[in-house]
Amino acid sequence: METSIGWDQYKAQASVDISNDNMLIYRGQSNSDWKLSSSLHRTPLVGGPSELETYTNVVVPQVLEGVEAWSGQAWNTKTPDGLAEALAFLQHNGFPTPLIDWSWSPYIAAFFAYESVNHFQPQSKNVAIYSFDQKHWSEVYERQSDFADHRPHVSMLQTRLVGNHKLAMQQGLFTWTNQKDAEAHIRTCEVNGLEFLKKYVLPVQERPRVMRELSLMGISAVQLAPSVESVCKKALEDLIHLQPVGKIC
């Protein structure tokens, strides 16, 4: 279900979700027209489920060889848990994976939806924030962990936090999928009155207020991904929050 709402309505809905302890997870995207896709599926590196095997067995080990030399960490990708932790680390360090980031926090999801918007030259009129009933989904549909299994799926994945501090601070977890459009797959499974996924569409023009309120909640780039770059991003947000959002390009 897709619903167009404002920031106040979204906060009210988030409060209801939290009060009801619905165990929902959330994801923000800076352009409401984008598909719900993994970073890997947004590239031409894989064309279908069968090519994920090559990615897992050939590409990932090659990448990890260099990453392990720099990070001092090592992963046993021959086990499902080891592979999941390796992919989570790669995901949070800029390498495309079949994982899709989610957060337990509806407000952290809102931050990621609005933070990536070009304040002065936005590319879309709206951002999107998804809520996913992962608990009900996992009860109805079997979780898959075998990359050699080509059956269409979207599966929950919550890895250990060891060595991945960004995941901890972002209250993060993942879905992983072999489908280019995860939302389309989930929609086909919403039969007999079932609803797992909701999409909230919010106006980009509310960005200054949203970012200011989230900052006052302690949700900013500095808290979620500490680095000098994040300090600079936070300084820019503090500088421009009184400026109106530019026209859509």
- Convert the pLDDT of each residue in 152-200 to its tens digit: 999 998 887 766 777 888 898 999 999 999 999 999 999 989 999 999 9
Mean pLDDT of 48-62: 89
Domain count of the chain? 1
Residue 114 located in a structural domain: yes
CA dist 52 and 218 (Å) reads 38
CA dist 164 and 48 (Å) reads 29
Residue 54 located in a structural domain: no
Q: What tens digit of pLDDT does each residue of 112-131 get?
A: 999 999 888 888 999 999 99
Q: Are 114 and 237 in contact (CB under 8 A)?
A: no
Domain region containing 20: 2-37+98-240
| Higher-confidence position of 99 and 241 | 99
CA dist 133 and 117 (Å) reads 26
Residue 58 located in a structural domain: no
Secondary element (H or E) of residue 97: none
Of the pLDDT bands very low, low, confident and very high (cuts 50, 70, 90), residue 42 is: very high
Residue 110 located in a structural domain: yes
CA 30 to each of CA 34, 35, 203, 207, 208: distance values in angstroms, whole numbers, following the listed order: 8, 11, 10, 11, 14
Q: What is the pLDDT of residue 59?
A: 93
Rg for the chain, CA atoms, rounded: 18
Tell me what the pLDDT averaged over the chain comes to. 90
Q: What is the pLDDT of residue 128?
A: 98
Residue 22: strand, helix, or coil: coil
Q: What is the pLDDT of residue 11?
A: 98
Mean pLDDT of 95-104: 96
Q: What is the pLDDT of residue 249?
A: 57
Q: What is the pLDDT of residue 173?
A: 93
Q: What is the pLDDT of residue 119?
A: 86
> Does residue 151 have a pLDDT over 80?
yes
CA 100 to chain centre: 5
Q: What is the pLDDT of residue 248?
A: 66
Give 126-177 as a 3 state SS string: EEEEEEECHHHHHHHCCCCCCCCCCCCCEEEECCCCCCCHHHHHCCEEEEEE
Q: What is the pLDDT of residue 163?
A: 65
